[in-house]
Chains A and B, each alone.
Chain A
Amino acid sequence: MLQYLFAGLALGAIYAIASVALVATYVSSGVFNFALGSMAFTVARFYYFLNTESGWPILPSAVVSLGLFAPALGAVLYWLLFRHLRLRSPLIKVVATIGLSVALPPAVELVFGKLTNVTAPGLAPVPLKVFHPFGAAVNMDQIMTYLGLVVVLVLGIAVLQYTDLGLKVRALVDSEALTSLSGVNPTRVSLGVWAVSTVLTGLAGILLAPTAGLSVEGMTYLMAAAFAAVVAARLNGLATAVAVALAMGVVTTVIQRYLDPESALSAQIVPSIPFAFMLLALLYHAWRRRAGEPPAGGALDRAIRVAGGATGGPAPARRGLADPTLIASGVALLSVAALPLVLPEYWAGLTATGLALAIALLSYTLVTGEGGMIWLCQITFAGMGAVLSAELATYHGWPPLLAVFVGALLIVVVGAVIGLLTIRLGDLYVALVTLTFGLLVQTLLFTRDRFYNFGQGTAMPRPGFAEDTRVFSYLTLGTFLLLALLIVNLRRSTAGMAMRAVRWSEDGARTLGLSVVQMKLLVSALATYTAAVGGGFLAMNSQSSLPDSYNVFSGLVWLAVLVTVGSRSLMAALVAGLSFHLFPGVFQTYLPTGWAEVPVLLFGLGAVMVAKDPDGILAVHARQLRGLLARRGGGLPQPSGRPAQAALASGSPDSAVHQLTGGDR
């Protein structure tokens, strides 16, 4: 038993170090770092490059990795990204850091090469020395981990409490603006915090690598555990985070003593422990009504903050058929419609997959673009749609299309329950709840033998009339357009206005007589339905449910791609879905194998750019196109309260195509 305890404390110590890094950057810069796992992987991979691949001894490898590389990485990322996020909306912060988490691993693999063997050494010399205190075995790696945590805590407390630098950091936590007025350079302090935090993140990564493997997946598990500890601590309590992290480590190892290591149940329960901790903590905070985010910065910071994501200004001009976005969208739609006809079989197949994905991506357009809710489990609903429709079609003999559309209705219940549970939560907590839900479903449900079937899933036939890939492509495109039209109707309807009202001011909406609960449930249900239908089409496309395809972290890449193109635009969902499959296809077919990860890198970088332009590239180009035409004497109205605006159709519905392109909304 003692041995399990020692091992648990070592695991908990690693979680604790990562939690300290997470809390430090959250309280000092207001950014909850979803890229923690990728950053840990990056530093650990660099250490591996020096120590194992280049043959450096442990000490210089550790000093260079943690003393030079990690702080430099933190400083560069702070300079390029994090400093622009402090007072941005939670949505932009989450998406930008998710973009970073998507972009970093392929960038690292491009530089250092892809690892085939993920076994990696820690900070202790190999072979590991083993000690036997109280009769239980403790190895040198575990002792290094305990020491790591002790050093981090002692140094951290000493610096924060007793040094001038600590005083500046604590001042920055309260208010960047006031700190700045006191003559302290907040940028320099924040940069220092990010540098130190990256050192801690890297340390956690290096310490974890020997047990969890040097892989993005292993580090992702570290990130999930750190998230759980920090959420339990309500995002800012260092002592609680450390205590919960240690407890989580102990529970994770001790529980293994009572589980059969050969059973499938063990394989499902053990990885789920951090998620269970997080879920319990979130439910507790929600029950105590303490799950709103603490405001970032002080009153002065909030007074001067940039409106997150809302560009304001004039609403888009409406020119009916003369609107250049109408023409551009029409051309794009026709081009997409022509693809299955003109492309060879392989590319037509990728097009069909992209179109099916575009349906699933519409769910992000609804829940995030319209509802302003940060849901990270849309891929899970797609997976549930795929699994359920395949079950209904294969085991119950339902026609495939009926199975997809009716099966999705059943998934809606799950989405509505999540919507209800998260109504009182702040944006960041909603993101974490949905991420946790996705991870739990992925670990506990998709891996069930009945659904998993050695990774093949359940067979899912296509409808008899659409067995040909090209016909199936048109069926999928038709479904996309039908759902897009329903969303346009929703946007322009009273419900759409009410939904946006709730998004921007719940108090304003409630005192106007609108029900926040109804509106959030509506958007949750519609988005869940769309995702599940998308999953059903993806399953029909691959003719199997393939539950492995619905990994939550692949969902983050989906989100990154969509946000890069535009989270509010329906056309962006189509472009993003196609890009997601055609773009890598081009790289795989025409470029060297080593470049295979470049598309993912670009998708991630695109999402990082959301910090600069939250509307996405499609809307940016639409704006540029309108501006260009206006400058060239196209006479497009500039509706910013000028007389020309009065001539615009009073109350006329928005151009349907503008809704499709998203414009600058």
Chain B
Amino acid sequence: MNAVSTSPVPAPPARLEAVGVTVRFGGLVALNKVDLRIPPGSMVGLVGPNGAGKSTLFAVLSGLLRPNEGRVLMGGGDVTRATPQARARRGLSRTFQRPELFSGLTVREHLVLGDRVRHSGDRIWRDLLTGGGFRRPSKEEDERVDRLLEALHLGGLQHREAAGLSLGAGRLVEVARALAVEPEVLLLDEPSSGLDMRETEELAATLRRVVEERGLSLLLVEHDVDLVLGMCDTVNVLDFGAMIRSGTPEEIRSDPAVRAAYLGEEPAPRDAEAKRDEEDA
């Protein structure tokens, strides 16, 4: 009688994955063997106190910082040594804790540029030779940009230069620009900072819709823990450069180690003992 194979179906490769990432700044270990996995179509949260290493991990994932050890994978392929623009072309997009806007461009131009990078990258050179600067944008481009402007309630600001925008509006422009390149993975660094409660709720709803419609994977770093726990399928907790927990929002919410890291609470003796056992193991 032949044995029937019961081996599990291998999980699809993560859209973006950090494997054993370590970053040192001189003697300071900013990230210590950090693992992080962002599966397709998922919303993953990353939380941690100030100085935990969240922005450093973002910089490593987006290619702005090269890790001392470990690897970064996109769709299973190693991109550890790839430049930020190479990663962007493979479908990675991000926002920044302090918005990195193009001050001399209008809000609309931010989105048009993102759209052209995605849909007509060769125009950067073609326009120069063919007088493309004098042509009207295509109807499709206008429609895509208008949809994004509408989704993020930026229509009224579309012709304003970014230099004069408020912090909240600037964040929305950055999110819109990141979405304009239609990424597969979107890294959002504190997108709700500077937004009021209503704007935060609207942004969360927009992101949920985009994830559902486009099958986008999203990594969200936020100080607003409620937003992360309310939005994400999986939440990772970083503390002093180490990933101390990963789990569902419920697991994270009830985890004593997370509470200790965040609120300074001492873990209950039994929890602490269990944690030590786990670490020993």
B102 touches A509 (CB 8 A): yes
A653 within 8 A of B: yes
- Residues of A contacting B109 in the complex (Cβ-Cβ under 8 angstroms): 497
Residue in A488, A491, A651 whose CB lies within 8 Å of B137: A651
Residue in A314, A491, A495, A505 whose CB lies within 8 Å of B102: A505
| Chain A CB within 10 Å, residue with most, of B101, B112, B113 | B113
B117 within 8 A of A: yes
- Residues of B contacting A497 in the complex (Cβ-Cβ under 8 angstroms): 105, 109, 112-113, 116
Kindly provide the distance from the CB of A386 to the nearest chain B CB, expressed in whole angstroms: 26
B136 touches A511 (CB 8 A): no
B127 within 8 A of A: yes
Q: Give the distance in Å from the alpha carbon of A20 to the alpha carbon of B195 in the complex.
A: 47
Kindly provide the distance from the CB of A136 to the nearest chain B CB, expressed in whole angstroms: 48
- Residues of A contacting B125 in the complex (Cβ-Cβ under 8 angstroms): 495
Q: Give the distance in Å from the alpha carbon of A160 to the alpha carbon of B135 in the complex.
A: 61
Residue in B84, B94, B134 whose CB lies within 8 Å of A489: B134
Kindly provide the distance from the CB of B239 to the nearest chain A CB, expressed in whole angstroms: 24
Given the known interface contacts A510-B88, A512-B88, the answer about A646 and B155 at a Cβ–Cβ threshold of 8 Å is yes
A493 touches B132 (CB 8 A): yes
Q: Give the distance in Å from the alpha carbon of A515 to the alpha carbon of B85 in the complex.
A: 6
A589 within 8 A of B: no
Kindly provide the distance from the CB of A204 to the nearest chain B CB, expressed in whole angstroms: 39
A492 within 8 A of B: yes
A312 touches B103 (CB 8 A): yes
A583 within 8 A of B: no
Kindly provide the distance from the CB of B168 to the nearest chain A CB, expressed in whole angstroms: 13
Given the known interface contacts A504-B104, A508-B102, A512-B117, the answer about A493 and B89 at a Cβ–Cβ threshold of 8 Å is no
B159 within 8 A of A: yes
| Interface hits, A278-330 → B, CB 8 Å | 307, 310-315
A183 within 8 A of B: no
User: Across the A-B interface, how many residue pairs have beta carbons closer than 8 Å?
Assistant: 163
Kindly provide the distance from the CB of B115 to the nearest chain A CB, expressed in whole angstroms: 10
- Residues of A contacting B63 in the complex (Cβ-Cβ under 8 angstroms): 510-511
- Residues of B contacting A504 in the complex (Cβ-Cβ under 8 angstroms): 101-105, 162
A653 touches B112 (CB 8 A): no
B145 within 8 A of A: yes
A502-540 interface code vs B (CB 8 A; 1 in, 0 out): 011101111111110010000000000000000000000
B62 touches A511 (CB 8 A): yes
- Residues of A contacting B145 in the complex (Cβ-Cβ under 8 angstroms): 651
* Number of chain B residues close to chain A: CB under 8 A: 59
| Chain B CB within 10 Å, residue with most, of A490, A498, A501, A653 | A501
A494 touches B132 (CB 8 A): yes
B160 touches A514 (CB 8 A): no
B163 touches A498 (CB 8 A): no
- Residues of B contacting A507 in the complex (Cβ-Cβ under 8 angstroms): 64, 84, 96, 100
- Residues of A contacting B106 in the complex (Cβ-Cβ under 8 angstroms): 315
Kindly provide the distance from the CB of A154 to the nearest chain B CB, expressed in whole angstroms: 36
| Interface hits, A627-665 → B, CB 8 Å | 639-643, 645-646, 648, 650-653, 656, 665
Q: Give the distance in Å from the alpha carbon of A198 to the alpha carbon of B250 in the complex.
A: 67
Interface residue SS majority, chain B: helix
- Residues of B contacting A83 in the complex (Cβ-Cβ under 8 angstroms): none
- Residues of A contacting B105 in the complex (Cβ-Cβ under 8 angstroms): 497, 500-501, 504
B159-200 interface code vs A (CB 8 A; 1 in, 0 out): 111111100000000100100010000000000000000000
A496 within 8 A of B: yes
B161 touches A488 (CB 8 A): no
Kindly provide the distance from the CB of B22 to the nearest chain A CB, expressed in whole angstroms: 21
B133 touches A508 (CB 8 A): no
B127 touches A511 (CB 8 A): no
B134 touches A652 (CB 8 A): no
- Residues of A contacting B120 in the complex (Cβ-Cβ under 8 angstroms): 494
- Residues of A contacting B131 in the complex (Cβ-Cβ under 8 angstroms): 489
Residue in B100, B102, B133 whose CB lies within 8 Å of A492: B133
B152 within 8 A of A: no
- Residues of A contacting B174 in the complex (Cβ-Cβ under 8 angstroms): 508
| Interface hits, B20-75 → A, CB 8 Å | 62-64
CB nearest neighbor in A for B177: A512
- Residues of B contacting A493 in the complex (Cβ-Cβ under 8 angstroms): 123-124, 127-128, 132-133
- Residues of A contacting B104 in the complex (Cβ-Cβ under 8 angstroms): 310, 500, 503-504, 665
CB nearest neighbor in B for A487: B133
- Residues of B contacting A492 in the complex (Cβ-Cβ under 8 angstroms): 133-134
B158 within 8 A of A: yes
Residue in B62, B84, B100, B124 whose CB lies within 8 Å of A495: B124
CB nearest neighbor in A for B135: A653
Residue in B85, B87, B156 whose CB lies within 8 Å of A646: B156
Residue in A315, A513, A641, A645 whose CB lies within 8 Å of B181: A513
B102 touches A501 (CB 8 A): yes
Given the known interface contacts A505-B102, A651-B137, the answer about A494 and B127 at a Cβ–Cβ threshold of 8 Å is yes
- Residues of B contacting A513 in the complex (Cβ-Cβ under 8 angstroms): 85, 88-89, 117, 121, 181
- Residues of A contacting B158 in the complex (Cβ-Cβ under 8 angstroms): 645, 650
- Residues of B contacting A312 in the complex (Cβ-Cβ under 8 angstroms): 103, 160-165
Beyond A495-B124, A507-B84, A510-B88, 19 additional contacts (C-beta under 8 Å) are A307-B163, A312-B103, A312-B161, A313-B160, A314-B159, A493-B127, A493-B133, A495-B125, A497-B109, A508-B174, A510-B84, A512-B181, A513-B89, A514-B85, A640-B160, A642-B156, A650-B108, A651-B137, A665-B104
- A-B residue pairs in contact (CB < 8 Å), sample of 22: A307-B103, A310-B161, A312-B163, A313-B161, A488-B133, A493-B124, A493-B132, A497-B105, A497-B113, A504-B105, A507-B84, A508-B174, A510-B63, A511-B62, A511-B84, A511-B92, A513-B89, A514-B85, A514-B117, A641-B157, A645-B156, A651-B145
The 10 closest A-B pairs by CB, nearest first: A312-B164, A312-B163, A508-B100, A493-B127, A492-B133, A513-B88, A493-B133, A489-B133, A510-B84, A310-B163
Interface residues, chain B, with chain A CB atoms under 8 Å away: 62-64, 83-85, 87-89, 92-94, 96, 100-106, 108-109, 112-114, 116-117, 120-121, 123-125, 127-128, 131-137, 141-142, 145-146, 155-165, 174, 177, 181
